[in-house]
Structure 1
């Protein structure tokens, strides 16, 4: 009886299943472009009157199950005219979609605060980068991934190391305070996130360990689009937080009615893309004397002479820059799941990234988990939730100190041999940098949560109320260690350390709350209006604590209680709160003329009560003249833009009330409190920046070609900075409102599709920009040393100095004296002849008379992207470059001083320096370039390169322009008939980055900067982490 019941039950279930199948009909087909028959990917195909929908694949194919009785299919895609096709009993329906040039200019742009606008109504420059564009070159740091893809953005990297930092400046520096951020605000799904670079517990100055900016925590593969808001009108609603621009990041969301699972795996390897050229003739020693164990890396005899003295000398010198670095490796594995229904959609992802660095004993990991969910609770009420947890960190090392140690290390020895059998350092007269990397460790570990929730209520079609709450929290631990002496006779520790252990913690928490009411209405037949009223609150708290214990009792026990002395104590806490009210109104006349006015009032906690509340307005006009006039058929679209905005900036925390700091230098050995070194100012005022922008957008030939041109100008006044004051006041600096700086420039974006045919297409995009800045005013009209260092080996100082009326970024240094030079000239007069002394060598200029040697800011920036597609095969290449900038090359200065640079191989030659004597007569004296006594019997001491060349700044502030093949990627979409049925799609790609570099800069890649990614100071390079030439192999499988 039981078996009969089971059989009946199974027959019933089979009947139900057959009936269910019979009630649906599968329709398939292909969607192509009506002009060139190319497949159209991503078209939404839906059954009319139902929620059933699918998307076309990379070949334009689709399959959809239609309920019985369905009458028509709907085909929709941005940039094409939608079509409704009757089914009429057909099982195959192929469709040709006609491009709609009007629709191409009605793309929706996320302008921040959750506000999506039609691109046509925007009266300011806003540039978007898609997920595909962002991930072409597989950069783990999303800031680096933007290189060459955004006009007006200057992006600098601290090198190609694991978890390295990067900074982005939009339209030039607008602050004269080197400690004040000039980087844009980062917003992820409406939540303000931190992108700072903390150096607490990581060292200081050029010896900062290679830590990253916090924006590197975000997984680029989770990102759907990045919109870069550049001008004041674009960022006005964000208030003072958006005064440097805004990076609006939108992550992926669930789509469609089917579950989509994607697995992506990438493996890559990397090596330095550029290394310094070295001489290969002269070995260890000084003054030509062979000293294999000493501080003279390469001023000894040549190899043949050294082998007569030392039979163990190798036949060739070691190129220790090649020996010191290794092949790095990267792996990223990502799994994403998305899908949904009409009322609920989700996107979730899990990613694991691991990188081992080119610099030995360095690595980085990033584990990211994300959940995005959107809910339609009713026809009037919607909500969304975004959550992202990240764990990141690794082992870091000081690339600057590593490079400096390499410069000291003689090419007589192989730097890769760094250990004795007993575990002590293999000493060859100086520190071995690899031993330093192996024993002087910094490990960081960061746990971060970014989350947001949004509610939207639309009781009537003309009114919408949106509330968003967001949080960004992270807790980072940094642990620095170095062993003490083991007590082995003759052992040498790196930097003569007695051992140390440093334990530091950085905590960060920010809350953001935004409420926006939006009213839409038809004012007249031709005039529409939109009014937005809003209030927001941003609250931030961050703290740092830590201490370093030294002189370890047990050499390798890294706990604070094992230390016998303490230093570098940190215990700081900062609190900040900003409240804002804003209003924005837009008038739309006949959908071609748009006027937008806004006003914002900010109240900040970092300014005195009398000045902490302030207003700033914006006004913008967008005129789509192509929609008003009948233009020639080849013109698809045209728009003029004009905008003005005034933006504010506040002060750093605790700038207007004097406080006290710890004093541990009391003679009795006690600890007390003393005033801080900086005088606070109870009358501080906000900074204000006025910005003007004009633009023209046009597209041609059914939007196959187009351009976007922008001119902008900004003037920042009353900038808050710390000015030097007389020590008689009891302080060293004081907070003041002083100075102004101007930026003006142009941006040009060209886009085109030169070729579109059935099987082949070619798409190209050019980004070009130029910015010119000027220091308009300084405090009391006096020069300001913005940043710098002693720079070279023992001498050749270089500083970045701000002088009224001159460009920001000017680098000042010592120069050769020149015949007939103007003693009051501010710039090095390089067109004048050198002044030659009686000894036949050029005369050195005074260290008290520094001249402008160059400028650290590029005059031109450009990027050119090309994508070629043939059937299933696609090739994308990105060229980008910077021109017209100079940097001080610390590496070259050291290499010249130590006889390692390739050009120092001419040391045994005579030379007559081209120039004039003091009496105006041409120099004819021949001098020897080597050290000690030359063939002419004259004692030349330490020689030309150590006595003269390296003792002056001028030779080492050099052209740092470059152009490179940033990336090239070849991908192939595998046909479905080659795949198992459970795999719906698959693709494979191979990618190379930094495949070609052209630059005249000596040494490493000039793109890498010496300062940390949070610093404003630029213009120094050399001892940095080398940039990487990388190769990646990726496979993506969809289920």
Structure 2
């Protein structure tokens, strides 16, 4: 099939090039002068083109242009100039004649961003907005080449941090807007997602047993259906959405049909993936302990050198256990309509094979939408059905078993002839668990069926008054099956678990209903003052049902069915939340120069106590386009100042106001039902959280909009945060839900856009973003020392994250080296102080945990460059994250097992830098090896790497800063002159490479990795799914 596809592609490209060479000879000319409509001055460098022929010229110093060799006929001619409105005319060129066409061009003050989609899908001119907002276009989304629409936002928007947890097929992403906004360890800090006015679910629900890289639900959306994405970063922008948008909002607008001929668009891409980076593994030493070979023992790589054991062969199992990932995407859409009716329908399929065995993910999306225009009445509806899911690998277990695996055993030789597992011993009958066998045999699959739909109507009673209503639904069912086969009763069979095998099935069902009724008033109060007012009612209801059944201890082998299980347990959780809001949005403008926006919203929520269910929060923002009031130098085109203040409320999780009872796992017992009080003490005294936000900024543009700066300063304080705090075990509970904390985020954002070069055939555009965010835990309830976020299990001494006043949300805690002169009251280690060396000659590790790193970046930046030359386009995108720390569990484990080149110093004698307890310099020489030192006879036991290095969390907490070449894209679009001779309106071929280069001191696979996309433990990297790089070939055409 690949050969056939390659032949068709080459044939098609050959036809394109032949058609390119078959253009007819021209027979006329077009000339003229281009001037500024306001000043009458000639404009230099204006591009005057005939799009259908792909020919043009740039005006010279006298403002004139000349197009020669133009075939006889009727054409559309365009004059284009950065900072001015494009002017279009229709002309007729006659044989042998010169056609004179002069242009007068008017400045386009807001050329860089005319319309922005804001709350509830309302479109506003960007000049009228008094807060920071950024858009990502369909072109940007397509260029990113990601199955997850969050991938299209990486590096595109300032103040937004997006983390790719790993390279697994279907693995989710995290998005944080302006830092972390909640102290609740169970809160996801994720923004609200809205599609065509309908709030949708973007949660990530991990596997109940083991982390398997599940999808965030926004990944169900096909990027090919998206027209634009607006990111609302500040409280004023999101105030109208209420409590759901306390962490910001991502507003998604999908593609729609337009009046005109029916258009068919087809998109195809095929990609390959491999590991972007891997630790430096050593192939010098084999299995065993203390330089003695033991190929059937526990120790993977602490034995004798392979050069001394010719009977053993080294296998690079880390590389061999992984495969090349493949992705195939196809999408077709049909759109069109008349002045009264338009439609858009699409179907797309994405098929992905991951780099780990038995990991795949598929998505099929079918979308239908339409609009009816009948006088003052407009009716629009859309429905999007998605089926997604695949096979997930327990990648933490996979990577752990690779770490345990004997490097002299081939991990890919994983099964005996009878189907049982081969271990890493020479006879294959040992206890080492093969990670590939685990991935292939112990399966976990998910199957999601989802429907997102909306119905919107509006009626215009008069030019100044309209009424609109929207009803939306987002409902899905996520069915999961987890199977671990039981023993088969074969001789020498390795028994995988002590439960005799199990089957677990679960279903996560969720339905979001939203209703919005609004009246819109638009009036000119005076000749100079305009007003728009929107008042509305917003209703939101979410209900969910999680059911899980587990059967253990199969009686008959190879029959993994509930009816074959001796022990069956069932779990169910029901939840419902309802929110009702009334809101108002008032906009005033004076002469299109000074803009004032005031909003107010009152919410009634079902999750707070009766007396606290109703709460109000306002916002106000001001925009002043001073360039329209002040005479500016010729080199300055546009200037705007903006300021805003807002308050946003937030409610509690469902069922937080009264104690609940749960069924212990041992019930039913002898047919008796039993319940016990839950481990959490809930509170009837809760009140809503409240975030106050201030923002100042300016938008400056120069040189006819060829250079622009957008700067924002912001500060946000979230108070009365609803969080679980620890309580004494004597209460019979572990935590208490209460209003108990405050967190602050403050920072700056800078976006720079430039067009350094623009000629008739060539254009170079630059877009860069810079973000610096600082967050601090300001306060926690009296009597509570810290809020525990969570931990991961290291080989010894678990690192953890917790929140205490005065420290960053990203603080990483753990064991560390003792340092001479350290302040015992300080929470953070001081690496400038000398390490204390013990009497044994090794660094002293203190068990009292301190902050050993901070997962909050000092700053992030992005640089995007795009070059267009005639029909060719080329772009590249660089992401930079600086000053961020992460704990690297793989480094800790590899040190324990001797896998990496860090352990090659095991035969060295060293004197550690540091001082003795009395402050005198250390002069003790020690051996880094295991067992008995052959020179001194001293027994060093398990050696430095196991006794000291892996014990200190500080050692494996690394600088995770990075520079990543996020994407490189090259494309060719067939010229219009060629398309006129074939039945296509657009044909484009492209190649895209993602994550192809990475510079980082972090020794894990990818510094962007984290525990899971539903976790706040951003500073702790478990045995994560390796990050990947991809190469994608694409073909798009329309007719």
Answer yes or no: is the 8 Å Cα contact 1:859–1:885 preserved in 2: yes
Alpha-carbon shift at residue 947 of structure 1 (Å): 0.9
Instruction: Write the distance in 2 (CA, Å) between the matches of 1:273 and 1:35.
Output: 47
| CA shift digits 1:299-328 (9 cap, x unpaired) | 111112223xxx2x12xx222211111100
Is the alpha carbon distance of 1:461 and 1:1025 closer, same or farther for their aligned partners in structure 2, counting shifts above 3 Å?
same
Is the alpha carbon distance of 1:30 and 1:558 closer, same or farther for their aligned partners in structure 2, counting shifts above 3 Å?
farther
1:9: which partner in 2? Answer: none
Answer yes or no: is the 8 Å Cα contact 1:913–1:923 preserved in 2: yes
Alpha-carbon shift at residue 81 of structure 1 (Å): 3.1
Q: Does 1:955 align with 2:949?
A: no
1:813: which partner in 2? Answer: 814
Instruction: Write the distance in 1 (CA, Å) between the matches of 2:581 and 2:458.
Output: 20
| CA shift digits 1:163-204 (9 cap, x unpaired) | 1111101001111101113111000011111000123xx235
Q: Does 1:136 align with 2:136?
A: no
2:588: which partner in 1? Answer: 587
SS in 2 for 1:862: strand
Alpha-carbon shift at residue 997 of structure 1 (Å): 0.3
Is the alpha carbon distance of 1:642 and 1:561 closer, same or farther for their aligned partners in structure 2, counting shifts above 3 Å?
same
Q: Does 1:995 align with 2:993?
A: no
- Equivalences for 1:601-640 in 2 at 5 Å? 601-640=602-641
1:731: which partner in 2? Answer: 733
Q: Does 1:872 align with 2:871?
A: yes
Alpha-carbon shift at residue 666 of structure 1 (Å): 7.0
| CA shift digits 1:636-679 (9 cap, x unpaired) | 11100000000000000000022211134479654301111111
1:417: which partner in 2? Answer: 413
| CA shift digits 1:1004-1032 (9 cap, x unpaired) | 1111112x212222111141111111000
Is the alpha carbon distance of 1:516 and 1:666 closer, same or farther for their aligned partners in structure 2, counting shifts above 3 Å?
closer
Answer yes or no: is the 8 Å Cα contact 2:243–2:651 preserved in 1: yes
- Equivalences for 1:755-904 in 2 at 5 Å? 755-780=757-782, 782-789=784-791, 791-793=793-795, 795-846=796-847, 849-904=848-903
Alpha-carbon shift at residue 914 of structure 1 (Å): 1.4
Answer yes or no: is the 8 Å Cα contact 2:49–2:78 preserved in 1: no
Q: Does 1:241 align with 2:244?
A: yes
Q: Does 1:291 align with 2:305?
A: no
Answer yes or no: is the 8 Å Cα contact 1:32–1:38 preserved in 2: no
2:338: which partner in 1? Answer: 341
Instruction: Write the distance in 1 (CA, Å) between the matches of 2:859 and 2:523.
Output: 45
Greater shift, 555-564 or 114-123, is seen at 555-564
RMSD: 2.6
1:4: which partner in 2? Answer: none
- Equivalences for 1:367-382 in 2 at 5 Å? 367-378=364-375, 380-382=376-378
Q: Does 1:260 align with 2:276?
A: no
Instruction: Write the distance in 2 (CA, Å) between the matches of 1:986 and 1:30.
Output: 31
Instruction: Write the distance in 1 (CA, Å) between the matches of 2:224 and 2:910.
Output: 58
Q: Does 1:1026 align with 2:1026?
A: yes
Q: Given the alignment, which residue of 742, 745, 748 partners 2:747?
A: 745
Greater shift, 890-899 or 459-468, is seen at 459-468
1:404: which partner in 2? Answer: 400
Alpha-carbon shift at residue 382 of structure 1 (Å): 1.0
1:649: which partner in 2? Answer: 650
Is the alpha carbon distance of 1:920 and 1:38 closer, same or farther for their aligned partners in structure 2, counting shifts above 3 Å?
same
Alpha-carbon shift at residue 782 of structure 1 (Å): 3.4
| Unmatched tracts of structure 1, length 5 or more | 1-26, 44-60, 67-71
Instruction: Write the distance in 2 (CA, Å) between the matches of 1:264 and 1:555.
Output: 47
1:533: which partner in 2? Answer: 535
Answer yes or no: is the 8 Å Cα contact 2:886–2:960 preserved in 1: yes
Is the alpha carbon distance of 1:843 and 1:563 closer, same or farther for their aligned partners in structure 2, counting shifts above 3 Å?
same
SS in 2 for 1:81: coil
2:674: which partner in 1? Answer: 672
Is the alpha carbon distance of 1:531 and 1:667 closer, same or farther for their aligned partners in structure 2, counting shifts above 3 Å?
closer
Alpha-carbon shift at residue 480 of structure 1 (Å): 0.7
Instruction: Write the distance in 2 (CA, Å) between the matches of 1:756 and 1:120.
Output: 25
2:905: which partner in 1? Answer: 906
| CA shift digits 1:226-250 (9 cap, x unpaired) | 0000001011111111111010000
2:969: which partner in 1? Answer: 969
SS in 1 for 2:718: strand
Q: Given the alignment, which residue of 121, 132, 147 partners 1:125?
A: 132
Alpha-carbon shift at residue 40 of structure 1 (Å): 7.6
Q: Does 1:305 align with 2:324?
A: no
2:389: which partner in 1? Answer: 393
- Equivalences for 1:265-276 in 2 at 5 Å? 265-276=268-279
Answer yes or no: is the 8 Å Cα contact 1:32–1:39 preserved in 2: no
Alpha-carbon shift at residue 886 of structure 1 (Å): 0.5
SS in 1 for 2:490: coil
Instruction: Write the distance in 1 (CA, Å) between the matches of 2:241 and 2:496.
Output: 49
Greater shift, 626-635 or 716-725, is seen at 626-635
Is the alpha carbon distance of 1:948 and 1:709 closer, same or farther for their aligned partners in structure 2, counting shifts above 3 Å?
same
Q: Given the alignment, which residue of 357, 361, 370 partners 1:360?
A: 357
Alpha-carbon shift at residue 405 of structure 1 (Å): 0.9
TM-score, normalised with respect to structure 2: 0.90
Alpha-carbon shift at residue 375 of structure 1 (Å): 1.6
- How many residues are aligned here? 975
Alpha-carbon shift at residue 78 of structure 1 (Å): 11
Instruction: Write the distance in 1 (CA, Å) between the matches of 2:982 and 2:822.
Output: 80
2:25: which partner in 1? Answer: none
Answer yes or no: is the 8 Å Cα contact 1:781–1:804 preserved in 2: no
Answer yes or no: is the 8 Å Cα contact 1:196–1:214 preserved in 2: yes
Answer yes or no: is the 8 Å Cα contact 1:664–1:672 preserved in 2: no
Q: Given the alignment, which residue of 171, 188, 195 partners 1:181?
A: 188
Instruction: Write the distance in 1 (CA, Å) between the matches of 2:144 and 2:1026.
Output: 17
2:16: which partner in 1? Answer: none
Greater shift, 919-928 or 406-415, is seen at 919-928
2:152: which partner in 1? Answer: 145
Is the alpha carbon distance of 1:553 and 1:703 closer, same or farther for their aligned partners in structure 2, counting shifts above 3 Å?
same
Alpha-carbon shift at residue 516 of structure 1 (Å): 1.1
Answer yes or no: is the 8 Å Cα contact 1:189–1:386 preserved in 2: no
Is the alpha carbon distance of 1:114 and 1:668 closer, same or farther for their aligned partners in structure 2, counting shifts above 3 Å?
closer
Alpha-carbon shift at residue 966 of structure 1 (Å): 0.1
Is the alpha carbon distance of 1:95 and 1:873 closer, same or farther for their aligned partners in structure 2, counting shifts above 3 Å?
farther
2:696: which partner in 1? Answer: 694
Answer yes or no: is the 8 Å Cα contact 2:82–2:705 preserved in 1: no
SS in 1 for 2:288: coil
Q: Does 1:329 align with 2:334?
A: no
Instruction: Write the distance in 1 (CA, Å) between the matches of 2:268 and 2:907.
Output: 56
Alpha-carbon shift at residue 35 of structure 1 (Å): 5.5
Greater shift, 490-499 or 998-1007, is seen at 490-499
1:69: which partner in 2? Answer: none
2:166: which partner in 1? Answer: 159
Answer yes or no: is the 8 Å Cα contact 1:786–1:1017 preserved in 2: no
Alpha-carbon shift at residue 62 of structure 1 (Å): 14
Alpha-carbon shift at residue 85 of structure 1 (Å): 4.4
Answer yes or no: is the 8 Å Cα contact 1:425–1:493 preserved in 2: no
SS in 2 for 1:946: helix
Is the alpha carbon distance of 1:790 and 1:766 closer, same or farther for their aligned partners in structure 2, counting shifts above 3 Å?
closer
Is the alpha carbon distance of 1:84 and 1:908 closer, same or farther for their aligned partners in structure 2, counting shifts above 3 Å?
closer
Q: Does 1:559 align with 2:556?
A: no
2:712: which partner in 1? Answer: 710
SS in 2 for 1:815: strand
Instruction: Write the distance in 1 (CA, Å) between the matches of 2:183 and 2:485.
Output: 41
SS in 2 for 1:834: coil
Is the alpha carbon distance of 1:500 and 1:638 closer, same or farther for their aligned partners in structure 2, counting shifts above 3 Å?
same
2:427: which partner in 1? Answer: none
Answer yes or no: is the 8 Å Cα contact 1:137–1:968 preserved in 2: no
Answer yes or no: is the 8 Å Cα contact 1:203–1:209 preserved in 2: no
| CA shift digits 1:89-114 (9 cap, x unpaired) | 98999896847332416611110212
Q: Given the alignment, which residue of 426, 431, 439 partners 2:441?
A: 439
SS in 1 for 2:807: coil
